[in-house]
Amino acid sequence: MRVALLLTFVLVSHSVVAQGLLAPVGIENPQRAWQHWTLNCQGCHLPSGLGSVGGAPDLSRVAQFLWLPAGREYLARVPGVAASPLGDADLAEVLNWMLWRFDKEHLRANFKAYTAAELKPLRRRPLRMEASTMRIELLKQIKANPAL
């Protein structure tokens, strides 16, 4: 009985930790990140992140892409991100802000914030026409793999 209680405690406390990220990371100045989002992103993605102008996708499940290394790269290389006029550090902050603001539910506890150093080389290889096929392929992999 005591063992069972202890086990329950361990499982419950573990699941709290595994639930997700408990506080935003990689956002030095949330106000600034929001302003950058307003000026550079929401024209297409809308203030709610629900998207649609010119086919901009709904961002309410965007953090799922981070579950795959290729998905993490994808988020940094989609045209609206890679070709944004924002500098690397500001862009990293906006991405981290966007993930927390629109989809903290899918942000895992082990999430590592995007940094300027990570974005710099990825932005040099922006996706073009292949963005939509890559998106479909990534979503297929995420759905097909319950272990993710």
User: Residues interacting with ligand HEC, by CB under 6 A?
Assistant: 40-41, 43-45, 54-57, 62, 75, 78-81, 84, 86, 94-95, 98, 131-132, 135
As measured in angstroms, the least distance from the Cβ of 16 to ligand HEC is 28
- Closer residue to ligand HEC in complex, CB, 13/43: 43
Q: Could you tell me which of 148, 85, 75 has the C-alpha nearest to residue 118?
A: 75
Taking the C-alpha atoms of residue 17 and residue 15, their distance in angstroms, rounded to an integer, is 5
For residue 73, count other CB atoms closer than 10 A to its CB.
16
Q: Which is nearer to ligand HEC, 4 or 67 (CB)?
A: 67
Smaller CB distance to ligand HEC: residue 19 or 52? Answer: 52
By the 8 A CB rule, do 71 and 65 touch? yes
- Pick between residue 20 and residue 142 the one whose CB is nearest to ligand HEC: 142
Question: What secondary structure does DSSP assign to 36-47, as a single string?
Answer: HHHHHTHHHH-T
Report the candidate in 147, 143, 133 with the shortest Cα–Cα distance to residue 65.
143
- Name the residue number minimizing CB distance to ligand HEC: 80
Nearest approach, Cβ of 43 to ligand HEC (angstroms)? 5
